[in-house]
Amino acid sequence: MEKTVMRAIEGNEKAFRQLLYQHEAQMYRMAYIYVQHEQDALDVVQESALKAHQKLTTLQAPAHFTTWLTRIVINTAHDFLRKRGRMTYVDYDDLPEPVHIEEPTQLILADVLRVLSPQEKDVIILRFYYDYTISQTAEMLRLKLGTTKTILYRALQKLRNEMEASE
């Protein structure tokens, strides 16, 4: 993939389209988690693709293209929601490709996630839904590793407390 990224950085439009094609499903899922609406998610993906194309030459490490692109999608989704005046998150049982867990647990999880701040949700989504490492999550969110660990710990504590309260 690094060779394709390098060709795209050098101005090869076909290579850039290939990269977008490889990442479009992930971009859509990430956008949908934030905006909860199919058309809005598509708008976020389109805006993210445009931003990525415009800023492609600023990518310093081609090996980190996926991380860089994911960060653009998250920022674009946040901007979209800020412009709309609210930040909402989808119920996890409504995701296009839902997490494969038992139905009762899934319903409880959707309710419990509402107690998290947007930053805590970002960390939880990247760490557990997309299975990124703590280091990758920190890099995507442009946070220090220690800060990311603290946010994750705090979010897990909130989730644990909320789960205990719902039992």
Sequence letter at residue 51: K
Band of the pLDDT at 110, cuts 50, 70, 90?
A: low
List domains and CATH numbers for the chain. 1-88 (1.10.1740.10), 99-167 (1.10.10.10)
Instruction: Give per-residue pLDDT as tens, 59-87.
Output: 888 888 888 898 899 889 888 988 876 54
Band of the pLDDT at 104, cuts 50, 70, 90?
A: very low
Q: Considering the chain, what is the average pLDDT of its residues?
A: 80
